[in-house]
Amino acid sequence: MVDLPRRSLLAGIAALGASACAKINESETAKSLFKAAEDGHRAVHRALAGKQGLAPEYTRAQRSPTFRGNGSVTVADPFYQEQLGKGFPDWQLEVRGLVERPLQLSLADIRALPQRPQITRHDCVEGWSAIGEWQGPQLATLLDAAKVRPEANFIVFRCADVLYGRDYYESIDMVDAYHPQTIIAHALNGEPLPEKNGAPLRMRIERQLGYKQAKYLKAIEAVASFDDIGQGKGGFWEDVAGYQWYAGI
Amino acid sequence: MKQHALSTRLWHWVNAIAIIVLFMTGLNISNAHRYLYWGDYGFDPKDAWLNVIRFPGWATIPQHYNLALARDWHTVAAWPFGAGLLFIWIAMLTNGHFRRDLATTPRDWSLRAVMASLKAHGGGEAAPGYNPVQRILYGMVFGVLLPLMVFTGLAISPGFQAAAPWLLELLGGRQSARSLHFVAAWGIFGFFVIHLALALANWRLILAMVTGGKCHAAEPAPAPPPSPSDESPSHG
């Protein structure tokens, strides 16, 4: 086995000829470079904005006329479809994992909690943006009620949709979990969430891109590490396509 | 004193690589949603002010569509590009490069001065100092296009907007910032083409950007506003 720096250097030179990019992209050096750049951007964002710094909020007049649905826009599961037809009377949101008091919440329970309405912009990783009014309880309210244990480092969102044969999931760290604009939305523009936008419940994590905004929410799980979940990269698109775990860039 | 300071040369080549990576990964990212909008939102192609072409594989990094890898390299190259711009501005302001070669006087902007420098171009390379057209073009690149790339790039990052919501407002909303990011990138590409063509026409200029070029005895006194008759010949 050729030593790594030399191989990376050779690959780097070859890449100038524009044909050996695959080698350089798969090298450990490139991966650690990507990770360092991603972590650096996150550190600067957090340092400049503060942990609680708010994403811009808009007025009702500034909303987009419609709100695009993307990724999964329907859920095949028969129980989901049955519930969708009836207005989700038996849908349960679980709060579990590293918590003192696991919770099971109905949609009525979620609506009865203190609510945060917010008109925010959704930015897809592809480049487009839509603006809508979301409403729901802050994630912090649920985490406090469930008493998250100190060893929890991440919150994982489990979803009902299946893409390319895999269950959708996402994860965030405790800074974003306790951010005031991190809410579990049950309404969009004053109406219950439509199916394409994640009915009955979806996450809003307003300082990150669209793929973090987990839809069709079934469970919220506090974990110490997400290494053993999916392929260990912290989310569906991170596993499938290699998207950055920190979706704030 | 060398024709090009070490700080200028270092920045020039690091920045050249960063810009090539940023531009070619940027074209890959553009392929993900080939529509540009003005304002805060935009997702429907019928609201787009520009339908962008699909950039072919040979023009992009990687050479096939891969949004994740393109974003990874874009995120990496943004560091030397942004930090480098700050570095070169500080260096130019402290070593006199800005005052000597880039700062313009109102007379530099006159049609006569511009015509005279265009006519004189292609002359010798002994005299230091840039002609009015060079001052204006380099000034636009350093003062407008490169900073615009950094600020529009920061503004379209959802994690950065919480740090500077005023930036997004100043730029007219996120989709406007994204459009400006695209337009300024092509402005830099235009500069790149002219810059490269002129440098290739006289390869010694490229060598000078590596070695530093000929030594000058001393820094010339601040030049009086140039008049068409005593125009300094250009050296690129």
| ipTM rounded to 2 decimals | 0.89
- Give contacts of A13 with chain B, Cβ < 8 Å: none
Say how many CB pairs under 8 Å bridge A and B.
124
Distant-in-sequence, close-in-space partners of A105: CB < 8 Å, separation ≥ 6: A92, A93, A94, A95, A142
| Res. A6: pLDDT tops 80 | no
**Considering the domain boundaries, does residue A143 fall inside one?**
yes
The token duo for A238 is 């991170």
* Contact yes or no for A67/B45 (Cβ under 8 A): no
Residue contact A246–B159, C-beta within 8 A: yes
What's the token pair of residue B37? 């909008």
Q: Has residue A180 been placed in a domain?
A: yes
- Spatial distance between the Cα atoms of B211 and B4, rounded to a whole number of angstroms: 8
Residue in the structure block whose two tokens are 């531009």: B23
A195 lies in a domain? yes
Q: Across the strands, what pairs with A97?
A: A222
The predicted pLDDT at position B221 comes to 46
Are B40 and A131 within 8 A, CB to CB?
yes
Report the Cα B58 to chain-centroid distance in Å.
Answer: 23
Phi, psi of A157 (to 5 degrees): -110, 125
Residue B101: predicted pLDDT? 86
Residue A103 belongs to domain with CATH number: 3.90.420.10
DSSP 3-state assignment of A155? strand
Q: Which of B46, B52, B72 to mutate to test the interface with A (most CBs of A within 10 A)?
A: B72
Chain A touched by B236 (CB under 8 Å): no
Which chain B positions have a beta carbon within 8 Å of A71's beta carbon?
none
> What is the DSSP secondary-structure string of B14-43?
HHHHHHHHHHHHHHHHHTTS-EE--SS-B-
Tell me, yes or no, if B168 comes closer than 8 A to chain A by beta carbon.
Answer: yes
In this complex, is the C-beta atom of B42 within 8 Å of any C-beta atom belonging to chain A? yes
Query: Is the pLDDT higher at A9 or at A218?
Result: A218
Task: Give the integer Cα–Cα distance in Å for B210 and B20.
Answer: 18
The answer to the question of residue A166 being in a domain is yes
Taking an 8 Å cut-off on Cβ atoms, the answer to whether B157 and A62 are in contact is: no
- For chain A, what is the largest distance between any 2 Cα atoms, rounded to a whole number of angstroms? 62
Token couple for B166:
């005023």
A10 vs A122: which has the higher pLDDT: A122
Distinct helix (H) and strand (E) counts, chain A: 8, 11
Cα–Cα distance for residue pair B59/B65, rounded to 1 Å: 11
Q: Using the beta-carbon criterion (under 8 Å), do B72 and A21 form an inter-chain contact? A: no
Tell me, what's the pLDDT at B127? 45
Q: Which residue from B35, B41, B165 is facing A130, i.e. has the nearest CB? A: B41
What is the pLDDT, as a whole number, of residue B124? 44
Q: Does the beta-carbon distance from A55 to B162 stay under 8 Å?
A: yes
Place of tokens 């925010």: A120
What is the extent of the structural domain holding A110? 27-225+234-241
Partners of residue A57 in chain B, C-beta under 8 Å: none
Residue A189 lies in a domain: yes
pLDDT tens digits along B78-94: 999 999 999 999 999 99
- How far is Cα A57 from Cα A183, in angstroms, rounded to an integer? 14
- In this predicted structure, the answer to whether residue A87 has a pLDDT above a threshold of 80 is yes
For residue A117, the tally of other CB atoms under 10 A from its CB is: 13
Residue A15, in any domain of the structure = no
> Please, what are the domains in chain B?
6-19+75-217 (1.20.950.20)
- In this structure, the dihedral spanned by the alpha carbons of residues B5, B11, B14 and B20, taken in order and rounded to 10 degrees, is -120
Report pLDDT for B227.
Answer: 47
pLDDT at residue A121 in the model: 98
Contact A56 B168 (CB under 8 A): yes
| Residues 6 or more apart in contact with residue A155 via CB below 8 angstroms | A139, A143, A171, A172, A173, A174, A177, A220, A221, A222, A223
Is the whole model's pTM more than 0.90, yes or no?
no
Q: Does B29 touch chain A (CB under 8 A)?
A: yes
Beta-bridge partner residues of A223: A154
**Per-residue pLDDT tens digits for A200-217:** 999 999 999 999 999 999
State how far residue A65 is from chain B, nearest Cα, in angstroms: 10
- Contact residues, chain B, for A38 at CB < 8 Å: 72, 75
Residue type, A190: G
Residue A6, H or E segment: helix A4-16
- Both ends of chain B: CA-CA distance in Å? 18
Whether the bond into B233 is cis, omega within 30 of 0 = no
> How many C-beta atoms lie closer than 10 Å to residue A179's C-beta?
23
At residue A184, the pLDDT reads 98
Q: Which of A21, A125, A207 sits opposite B63 (nearest CB)?
A: A21
Q: Rounded CA gap, A66 and B2, in Å?
A: 60
Question: How far apart are the C-alpha atoms of B11 and B210, rounded to whole Å?
Answer: 11
Question: A163 forms bridges with which residues in the sheet?
Answer: A166
Q: Report yes or no: B40 at the A interface, CB cutoff 8 Å.
A: yes
Residue B86 distance to chain A (closest CA, Å):
16
Nearest to B33 among A48, A58, A126 (CB): A126
Nearest-5° angle of CA A21, CA A25, CA A30? Answer: 130
* DSSP at A148: B
Please identify every stretch of chain B with a pLDDT value under 50, giving residue numbers as ranges.
Answer: 123-127, 218-236
Residues A55-80, buried b or exposed e (16+ Cβ, 10 A)? bbbbeeeebbeebbebbbeebeeeeb
Q: Is residue A75 within 8 Å of A161, Cβ to Cβ? A: yes
Confidence band, pLDDT 50/70/90 cuts, at residue A8: low
pLDDT in tens, A152-180: 999 999 999 999 999 999 999 999 999 99
pLDDT at res. B130: 82
Kindly tell me if the per-residue pLDDT of A185 is higher than 90: yes
Which chain B positions have a beta carbon within 8 Å of A236's beta carbon?
A: none
Q: Who wins on pLDDT, A192 or B127?
A: A192
Interface residue B157 vs chain A (CB under 8 A): yes
Dihedrals phi, psi of A66, to nearest 5 degrees: -135, 175
In terms of CA atoms, which chain B residue is nearest residue A45?
Answer: B160
Contact A188, A79 (CB under 8 A): no
Report the gap between the CA of A123 and the closest CA in chain B (Å). Answer: 7
**Number of folded domains in chain A?**
1
User: Would residue A131 count as lying in a domain?
Assistant: yes
* Residue A149 region by backbone torsions, left for phi larger than 0, else alpha for psi between -120 and 50, else beta: beta
Pairing of strands A92-97, A217-223: parallel
Above pLDDT 70, what percent of chain A?
A: 91
